[in-house]
Amino acid sequence: MRCAVCKRESGIIYSTPDVCRSCIIERSDLSLQIINKVRKTARARYGLPHEPPRSENGKQCRLCGNFCRIAEGERGFCGLRTNVKGRIKNIAGTASAGIVIAYHDPLPTNCVASWVCPGSSDTGFPEFSYAPSAEIGYRNLAVFLGACTFDCLFCQNHTFRENTASVYPVRSPEYLASLVSHKDSCVCFFGGDPSAQLPYALVSARRMLNASRGRIFRVCWETNGSMSSRLLRKVCELSLFSGGCVKFDLKAYDDNLHKALTGVSNKQTLENFKLAYHLMKGRPEPPPLIASTLIVPGYVEYDEVYAIAHFIASIDRKIPYSLLAFHPHYLMNDPVSTSRTSAISCLDAAHDAGLERVNIGNVHLLS
């Protein structure tokens, strides 16, 4: 690919973004302008703004770090909030209704935290796990929430942006709680992202815990970490109490690169990661806080992984960190995936930065 900014051959073969990593970091204004044109066209298909609205006379939403200021008739970045007669109206994601699909996975399951979680490893027994190893015979309730506070160019579940009941039904917390049986030892809220529908997810999680009182039932989250700090405290409380974990997907450390890949800043995510650690550090095992990063060829490799890992290590060297293989999808759909050489290089970067517990996940996707 020839970079649209510096005009040099970058060695990257994606058609989107057609800007190299160096230009995104060093010449961010022009680079982000080019990438946002692509993002604007893609999100227009779903009636979504290409960036968090900042209308001068708009009403501010405070559910996540995007802090959308929504004018009359506009939609927030996640697509679930509008301004009707000067008041924020929720399409879904309230305490009573969420856009969601739920299904059961047998344990052990392909989870970001499977190598250190009570359901799939040797941690947490007997207080938080039914077995000294993987909980064979038990299940995880996987709750996919159909909205997101980011707009990743490589999103693996981009169809949720349609926000139609025919694709992702609107369900009550009571419905989700009714899916939990004695065979289920944990629930994981993911998506999309829980941040866009946390009022709904929190009520649902509490109902599940009440229905499972007297037995092991862990509450876990897989998130981009952009929720408000007020809601993060509630998320951490439920996971800490139940033996679950909060899995932060740290997309990039450089803020300009993060904006290019996701459409928004990483400031709230990084601040929340530090807060989550301090809220849950009283329970070292099973680890309540886990980080992960997708290795995106040409953009998130050794240097970026080293920066992320150094940030994590500055908080605690023992925080588990999982490196995930990239699979082309959505706007970055050209046939390139993470190589084994790159994965090993990123593993070295995380160790070089000082982390002690690092894992390579999704190895079946490595080329």
Q: What is the CATH number of the domain that holds 174?
A: 3.20.20.70
DSSP 234: H
153 lies in the same domain as 109: yes
Q: How far is CA 64 from its chain centroid?
A: 13
183 lies in the same domain as 262: yes
Burial classification of residue 29, based on how many CB atoms lie within 10 Å of its CB (0-12 exposed, 13-18 middle, 19 or more buried): exposed
210 lies in the same domain as 332: yes
65 lies in the same domain as 139: no
Residue 130 neighbours by CB under 8 Å, 6+ apart? 138, 185, 216
User: Would you state the pLDDT for residue 165?
Assistant: 47
Q: Judge whether 328 and 334 are in contact, CB under 8 Å.
A: yes
Q: State the SS3 of 263-292.
A: CCCCHHHHHHHHHHHHHHCCCCCCCCEEEE
User: Would you state the pLDDT for residue 166?
Assistant: 53
298 lies in the same domain as 361: yes
Q: Write down which residue in 91, 118, 149 finishes a domain.
A: 91
Burial classification of residue 72, based on how many CB atoms lie within 10 Å of its CB (0-12 exposed, 13-18 middle, 19 or more buried): middle
> Does the CA dihedral 216-129-232-300 come out positive or negative?
negative
Output the tens digit of pLDDT for each of the chain's 367 residues.
788 899 887 656 566 778 999 999 999 999 999 999 999 999 998 889 999 999 998 999 999 999 999 999 899 999 999 999 899 999 899 999 999 999 999 999 889 999 999 999 999 999 999 999 999 999 999 999 999 999 999 998 887 776 554 567 889 999 999 999 999 999 999 999 999 999 999 999 999 999 999 999 999 999 999 999 999 999 999 999 999 999 999 999 999 999 999 999 999 999 999 999 999 999 999 999 999 999 999 999 999 999 999 999 999 999 999 999 998 888 888 868 899 999 999 999 999 999 999 999 988 888 8
Distance between CA atoms of residues 258 and 256, nearest Å: 5
Question: CA dist 85 to 35, 52, 55, 93, 346, Å?
Answer: 33, 20, 15, 20, 50
The residue segments making up the domain with residue 63 are 47-91
Tally the domains of the chain.
3
85 lies in the same domain as 209: no
Distance between CA atoms of residues 196 and 147, nearest Å: 6
133 lies in the same domain as 183: yes
